[in-house]
Structure 1
Amino acid sequence: MANETSEIVLSKQDLRAVTGYAAEIAQEVLEIFEDVHPADPRPRDAVDAALAFARGGERGRALRDAGWAAHKAAREADTEAAGNAARAAMSAAAAAYLHPLADANQVKHILGAAAHAARAAELVAGDVRDVGADQLERARRRATPAVVDVLSRYPAAPRGGGRVGELLRELDGALRGRS
């Protein structure tokens, strides 16, 4: 297992695989945000920018700006569920900026969109944990071997982070074969 000072080798293709995975998952919950804020395109723009990068586009300022805009939309959201849906979109854009350092916090770049999407789904369903578990199972099945390979280069997901952190660790464990 790599320690926190180890450098991890990541190719652009690795980053595209992780970003595409995160964007597809975030796309599933955009409606949660858009139902509350139908005139606010920021989370959708972040997912679209992430998908464009995953499909061969540039990892540049437009992608970074879209991610920050989705983050701002999350902070301004009128409901916790909408905020988590926007954070899923922000996490999708942030996945393109996964750092090549063996730091457990980097797992959030890989699985953060899925954890926030699961939390958003739980909240819309009245905080029903089974709904989040179903969302995580879909995320687990959607993970390609390339995504799992990148994840396996990093230490396990960090502790903390409340319910989203729990969901992150649950998915991390499932993808690593621990649950």
Structure 2
Amino acid sequence: MQGDASEIVLTGQDLREVTGFAAACAQTVLELFETGRPDDPRPRDAIAAAWDFAGGGERGKALRDTAWAALKAAGDAETAAAREAARAAMAAAGAAYLHPLARATQVKHILGAAAHAARAAELAVGAAGVPGPAGVAGYAPDTGAEHIRQAARRATPAVVEVLERFPGAPQGGGRVGELTRLLDARLRRHPLA
């Protein structure tokens, strides 16, 4: 569907490609949540709903409900890394709701799960005692950068093509925002690097 110049054409297959990418990224850090809360299925359910949609399922209530539940699970998480892992799961289910609007904020629907997963990995390594600058919690930029490189390799040409329809990632958003912009720049310049 295309209307005025502020709208972008998105097909159902585009949304499935983006959601599959987001689910794959979130899956990489799910254990960071489940280690502390093995009986809490909410992030896993969100990722499963994302995979279901990516594989041809409906875009509806299950995605919305599991995304909200994963966000609530983030609030119940025992560590900062677990919170970000749950947010990655929430972003995976939410990726199906990428809007066809030419706004930088929509890039978070495409790359948010990857950025939250990278931040979760950074925080997990930082909590394990990796030294960083005084006062910087969860400082493990090499770990985050490696997760971003892996996410870039995971992105299919179809995901990159959808991303390129949108403006660059927005400013702000703290470290997750930085990681989003890092991945955005990497995919637009060297999608398979």
Q: Structure 1 length normalisation: TM-score?
A: 0.96
Q: Distance in 2 between matches of 1:73 and 1:105?
A: 24
Q: Structure 1 residue 13: deviation in Å?
A: 0.1
The 5 Å alignment of 1:26-175 reads 26-126=26-126, 127-175=139-187
Q: Structure 1 residue 156: deviation in Å?
A: 0.4
1:64 maps to a residue whose letter is: R
Unpaired runs of at least 5, structure 2: 127-138
Q: Structure 1 residue 77: deviation in Å?
A: 1.3
Question: What is the number of residues matched between the two proteins?
Answer: 176
- Structure showing greater relative contact order (alpha-carbon pairs closer than 8 Å, 6 or more residues apart): 1
Q: Structure 1 residue 174: deviation in Å?
A: 0.3
Q: Structure 1 residue 5: deviation in Å?
A: 6.2
CA deviations on 1:41-77 (whole Å, 9 max, x unpaired) are 0000000000000000001101110000001111221
**Higher share of residues assigned helix:** 1
CA deviations on 1:121-140 (whole Å, 9 max, x unpaired) are 00111131101111000000
- The secondary structure found in structure 2 opposite 1:96 is helix
Q: Distance in 2 between matches of 1:5 and 1:145?
A: 24
Identical columns (%): 68
CA deviations on 1:157-177 (whole Å, 9 max, x unpaired) are 000000000000000000010
1:28 maps to a residue whose letter is: T
Q: Structure 1 residue 79: deviation in Å?
A: 1.0
Unpaired runs of at least 5, structure 1: none
- The secondary structure found in structure 2 opposite 1:36 is coil
Q: Distance in 1 between matches of 2:124 and 2:63?
A: 28
Q: Distance in 2 between matches of 1:5 and 1:68?
A: 31
Q: Distance in 1 between matches of 2:167 and 2:75?
A: 29
2:181 maps to a residue whose letter is: R
Q: Distance in 2 between matches of 1:29 and 1:150?
A: 24
Q: Distance in 1 between matches of 2:124 and 2:97?
A: 29
Q: Is the 8 A contact 1:5 1:101 kept in 2?
A: no
Q: Structure 1 residue 78: deviation in Å?
A: 1.6
After TM superposition, where is structure 1 displaced by more than 3 Å over at least 4 residues in a row? none
Larger CA Rg, structure 1 vs 2:
2
Q: Distance in 1 between matches of 2:36 and 2:180?
A: 25
